[in-house]
Chains A and B, each alone.
Chain A
Amino acid sequence: MFHWLEKNPFFFAVAVFVVIAFAGLIEILPNFAQASQPVVGTKPYSTLELAGRHVYIKNSCNACHSQLIRPFKSETDRYGHYSLSGEYAYDRPFLWGSKRTGPDLMRVGNYRTTDWHENHMKDPVAVVPGSIMPAYGWMFKNTADIDTAYAEQLTVMNVFAVPYNAEIPMADGSKATVALADTVEGARASALEEAKVIAADMKDQDVKDKIAAGEIPEIVAIIAYLNSLK
C-alpha cells in the first residue's frame, strides 16, 4: 500500500490529510458548545474596558503575564480562586498567556487599585523594587481607540449574541446590565463618563487635561480593563 501511495501523489496527500485531521475532529469539536457558556456573574466588557483590553493586546502584556489560575494551593493562595471555563465566555481572543515573567493577572482587579497601576505603569521599579518590567510612558500620551472597541462590541453582539443591553444574573442574586450605545457618538460619550471616574483617582495632570478635553488616554482604558479583572 505504501509503495502504491508513493507513486500516487494525490492519494498520498489525501491519506496524509485524513491522518492529521483526525485528532482535531475528535479532540476539539465535541467541546465547543459546552465550553462557551458563561458562569453566573460573568459580564461582557464595557466599551472602555474593551478599549483597554485592546491596549493590553497592542503591547503584548500577555507575553509576560498569564490570566489562568491553576487549581493548586500555591496559586489560589497567591492569585485567588482558580479559573473556571465559563469566566472566559466573552474573551475573544483568550489571554491565558504561556509565560509568567510577571505575576498572573486573572483577578488583579481584586487587589490592585487605579492609583497603584498609575504609579506602576509610569515607573515599575519605584513601586516594586527589583522589577524587570519596562515603563509604559507612552500609554499616558497615546489616545485609546474607542471606535474600534465599539465596532467589536457591535460585532460580537450581532454575530455571537453577546448579551449587551440585557439582564445578566449576578452571584448575589441581583441582575446587572452592560449598556451598549446605539451610535458611535453615544459609545464615545459613555466611555468618557466611565473614564472620568477612573481619572478622578489619578494624579497625572496631562491625563486629567486630556479627559477634560474629551480625549481618553490609553492608560485610563487599560486601568479600566485591569480593574474589571476579578
Chain B
Amino acid sequence: MENRPLEYDYTVAKMFMLTTVVLGIVGMLVGVILAWEMAFPAVNTIAGEGLAEYTNFSRLRPLHTDAVIFGFTVSGIFATWYYVGQRVLKVSMAESKFLMFLGKLHFALYLLVVVAVVGSLLLGITTSKEYAEFEWPIDIAIVVVWVIWGLQIFGLIGIRREKSLYISIWYYIATFLGIAMLYLFNNMEIPTYFASGGIGAWYHSVSMYAGTNDALVEWWYGHNAVAFGFTVPIVAMIYYFLPKESGQAVYSYKLSLLAFWGLMFVYLWAGGHHLLFSTVPDWMQTMGSVFSIVLILPSWGSAINMLLTMKGEWQQVASSPLIKFMILASTFYMFSTLEGPIQAIKSVNALAHFTDWIVGHVHDGTLGWVAFMIMASLFHMAPRVFKREIYSKSLMNTQFWIQTLGVVLYFTSMWIAGITQGMMWRAHDEFGNLAYSFIDTVTVLHPYYTIRAVGGTLYLVGMFLFAYNMYKTMTSGRRVEESELQNASPMGA
C-alpha cells in the first residue's frame, strides 16, 4: 500500500480545460470578425442594421481582448494549475473535501463572471480602461474568484508532501499575487449611484484617479497584466510541461532563479513605455524605456533555459508535434521579448506608438507564445486526464503548420502596416507641410488589413482543429494504461 502511486483528481482541471477551448474559440472568432471589419467595413453590419450596435467594431473590441485574456488564457492558467499543482506538490485534490469544494466553487463563480462580462460589454457597460473594462459589481465578483483561487493554491501548498516548491509553483504564486495587487489598485472606483444618494444607473462608477494619474495607474496595470497573465503563468507551464514531455531535466536551476527574481523585479518598472511622449513626468518615461531593455535578460533567461533543456534531444522537435508547439512557443517568447524592448526605445516608439505595429507585437506574443503553450499544455494533459491517447498526431501537425502560417501572416502584415502608417503621419513635403491627410494613411493599409484577416482566420481554423482533436481524444481516443504514460504523450495516427 505504501508504494501505491497517488490518484490525482482532475475534476476541476477538466472543467477549466473545457472553458479554455470554448472561450478560446469565442474570443478568437470575435477577433477574426474585427479583423475583417477593418479590411471591409461592410462587415460591421453583417447581422443587419438593427443589430449593428452589437456587431460593430468598437462594441466588439473589448469583448475580443477580454475573452482571450480572461476567458481563454486565464482558463488555461487555472486548468494547468489544477493539474500541475497536485503533481508537483505530491498531493491529491481528493484528499481534502474543502479544497475540492473550493475548486468547484471557483469554477462556478468564474462561469458566472464570464456571463456577466459578455452581457455587459455587449450592452456597452464599460469603464473604458483597457483590460479593466468591467464595472464595479463585476470587479467585486472577480476579486472573489481570485481570492478563492488563492485559498486553493495556499491550501494545496499547506497539505503538500513535497516540501520544496518546484519552479512552476513560484510562477503560479507570483501570478496570483501580481494580478491581485494590480487589479485592486487599478479598479479603485466610486459607485455614483450610492455616492449621489440613488441617482442614475446603479452599476456606474467613476475612477478614483483623474487624467495623467489615471493613465499611470492604468498602464502600470495594463503592462503588468501582460506580465502576470501572459508571461509569468505561461513560464510556469513551460517549466513543467517541456521537461515532462521531453523527459529532459531543466537545464539550469541557477538560471531559473536568476530569471525568476529578475523578472519579478524588472517587469513592474517597464509600464512607463506605454506612456512615452505623454504628459507623465519625463523621468518615468525614461525609467520605463530603460527597464524595458533590461527586461530582455530575465525573459531570455527563461527561454534559453528551456531551449537548452532540449540539448541532445533535438530530434524530438521533428518527431513530436507537441514538442514543436512548445519550442515554437518559447522561440516566439524570445522574439516577442526582443521586439517589445525595441518598441520601448524612445525614438522607435515615436514612430510605432498608436500604429498597428503594436497590435502585431501583441499578437506574435499571444498567438505565438501564450496560445501555443496553453494548447501544448492541454495536449499533454489530455491523455493523463482522460486516460486516452491523443486522437490524431497528423491533425496536430496540420494545426501546427496552419497556425504558424497564420501568426507569420499576422505579424508581418502588421509590421508593414504600422511602419507605413507611422512614416506617413510624420512625412512633410518640401515646404514643411504635412504630406498626407489622415485618410491617406488609412486607405493605404487595406491590403495589410486583408492579409491580417486571412492570418487570423487561419489561426481560428487551427483552433477548431484543436477543439475537434480534444473532443475526439475525450470521446474516442484509444484507452491507455497508467504504465504507458511516461514522458512522450501517446498519440494516435
For A23, the chain B residues whose CB sits under 8 A away are: 265, 268-269
Q: Is the CB of B58 within 8 A of A77?
A: no
* CA A136 to CA B57, docked complex, whole Å: 11
Contacts A20-B177, A31-B216, A150-B199 hold; do A64 and B58 have CB atoms under 8 A apart? yes
Segment of B201-209, B454-462, B480-488 in the binding face? B201-209
Whole-angstrom distance between the Cβ of B199 and the nearest chain A Cβ: 4
Q: A93-B128, A100-B355 are in contact. Are A31 and B284 (CB under 8 A)?
A: yes
On chain B, the residues within 8 Å of A156 by CB distance are: 206
Contact across chains for A131 and B442 when beta carbons are under 8 A apart: yes
Q: Which residues in chain B, 159-210, are within 8 Å of chain A measured between CB atoms?
A: 163-165, 170, 173-174, 177-178, 181, 185, 190, 192-193, 195-197, 199-201, 204, 206-207, 209-210
Q: Known A17-B181, A22-B265, A98-B130; judge A150-B62 contact (CB<8 A).
A: no
Instruction: Please give me the residue from chain A that is nearest to B174 by CB atom.
Output: A16
User: Shortest beta-carbon distance, A170 to chain B, in Å?
Assistant: 19
Pairwise interchain contact B212-A85, C-beta atoms closer than 8 A: yes
Would A9 and B165 be within 8 Å (CB), given that A24-B268, A84-B279, A132-B442 are in contact? yes
Give the residue name and chain of the A residue nearest to B128 (CB): A57
- Closest chain B CB from A172 CB (angstroms): 23
Which among A28, A36, A63 is the interface contact of B61 at CB below 8 angstroms? A63
**Within the complex, what minimum Cβ distance (angstroms) separates A5 from chain B?**
9
Residue A111 interfacial (CB < 8 Å)? no
A residues 1-32 near B (Cβ < 8 Å) are 2-3, 6-7, 9, 12-13, 16-17, 19-24, 27-28, 31-32
> Smallest Cβ distance from A10 to chain B, in angstroms?
8
With A36-B213, A85-B212 already in contact, the answer to whether A152 and B438 are too (CB < 8 A) is no
Secondary structure type dominating chain A contacts: helix
A20 near B277: Cβ-Cβ < 8 Å = no
Against B, the Cβ 8 Å flags (1 = close, 0 = not) of A94-117 are 111111111100000000000000
Known: A9-B173, A134-B58. A155 touches B126 (CB 8 A): no
The answer on a CB contact under 8 Å between B257 and A2 is yes
Contacts of B355 in A (CB 8 A): 99-100
Question: Of A60, A77, A99, A184, which one neighbours B128 at CB under 8 angstroms?
Answer: A60
CB-CB contacts of B259-273 with A at 8 A, as 1s and 0s? 001001101110110
Q: Which residues of A contact B427 (CB under 8 A)?
A: 74
Q: Does A66 contact B (CB under 8 A)?
A: yes
A133 at the interface (CB under 8 A from B): yes
Q: Are B215 and A7 in contact, with the CB atoms below 8 A?
A: no
Within the complex, the shortest CB–CB distance from A158 to chain B, in Å, comes to 7
Q: Is the CB of A101 within 8 A of B211?
A: no
A62–B218 CA distance with the chains assembled, in angstroms: 14
| B213 touching A60, Cβ below 8 Å | no
Kindly state whether residue B41 has any CB partner on chain A within 8 Å: yes
- CB atoms of A20 and B62 under 8 A apart: no
Cβ–Cβ < 8 Å partners of B209 in chain A: 92-93
| B438: chain A residues within 8 A (beta carbon) | 78, 102-103
Contact flag A60-B62 (CB < 8 Å), given A85-B212, A90-B210, A137-B49: yes
Among residues of A, the one whose C-beta sits closest to the C-beta of B50 is A138
A93 to B212, CA, bound (A): 10
Q: Across the interface, which residues of A come within 8 angstroms of B264, CB to CB? A: 16, 19-20
A158–B194 CA distance with the chains assembled, in angstroms: 12
Q: Is B143 in contact with chain A by the CB < 8 A criterion?
A: no
- A155 near B59 (CB under 8 angstroms)? no
Q: Which of B366-424 contact A (CB under 8 A)?
A: none
Q: Does A154 contact B (CB under 8 A)?
A: yes
B157:A9 contact, CB within 8 angstroms: yes
List residues of chain B with CB within 8 A of the CB of A92: 206-207, 209-211, 214
Secondary structure call for the B interface: helix
- The answer to whether B279 and A85 touch across the interface, beta carbons within 8 angstroms, is yes
* Number of chain A residues whose Cβ lies closer than 8 Å to a Cβ of chain B: 85
Pairwise interchain contact A95-B174, C-beta atoms closer than 8 A: no
Contact residue among B178, B200, B212, B426 (Cβ-Cβ distance under 8 Å from A20): B178
Residue ID in chain B nearest A85 by CB atoms:
B279
Chain B neighbourhood of A89, CB < 8 A: 210-211
Binary interface encoding of chain A residues 183-226 relative to chain B, with 1 for a CB under 8 A from any of its CBs, else 0: 01000000000000000000000000000000000000000000
Q: Is A70 an interface residue (CB 8 A)?
A: yes
B440 to A, closest residue via Cβ: A130
Q: B316 on the interface (CB 8 Å rule)? A: no
A154 touches B196 (CB 8 A): yes
Q: Which residue of B lies closest to A62 (CB)?
A: B128
Q: How far is the CA of A103 from the CA of B441 in the complex (A)?
A: 10
Which interface residue of A7, A61, A74, A133 has the most chain B CB atoms within 10 A?
A74
Give chain A's interface residues, CB within 8 Å of chain B: 2-3, 6-7, 9, 12-13, 16-17, 19-24, 27-28, 31-32, 35-36, 57-64, 66, 68, 70-75, 77-78, 83-85, 87-103, 125, 128-138, 145, 147-152, 154-156, 158-160, 184
With A89-B210, A134-B44, A155-B206 already in contact, 14 other A-B pairs whose C-beta atoms are closer than 8 Å: A9-B165, A20-B177, A23-B269, A27-B272, A27-B287, A58-B124, A60-B128, A73-B428, A78-B425, A83-B278, A85-B279, A125-B41, A134-B58, A151-B199
Closest 7 CB pairs of A and B: A88-B211, A148-B200, A23-B268, A58-B124, A151-B200, A85-B279, A134-B44
Instruction: Pick 25 A–B contacts, CB within 8 A, sort by A.
Output: A6-B164, A7-B165, A21-B268, A24-B185, A24-B220, A28-B216, A28-B220, A35-B281, A36-B212, A58-B126, A63-B62, A70-B277, A75-B425, A77-B434, A92-B209, A93-B209, A98-B130, A103-B438, A130-B442, A148-B199, A152-B200, A152-B204, A154-B195, A155-B190, A184-B199
Which residues of B are at the interface with A, using a C-beta cutoff of 8 A?
37-38, 41, 44-45, 49, 52-53, 56-59, 61-62, 124-130, 154, 157, 163-165, 170, 173-174, 177-178, 181, 185, 190, 192-193, 195-197, 199-201, 204, 206-207, 209-218, 220, 257, 261, 264-265, 267-269, 271-272, 274, 277-281, 284, 287, 350, 353-356, 358-359, 425-428, 433-434, 438-439, 442-443
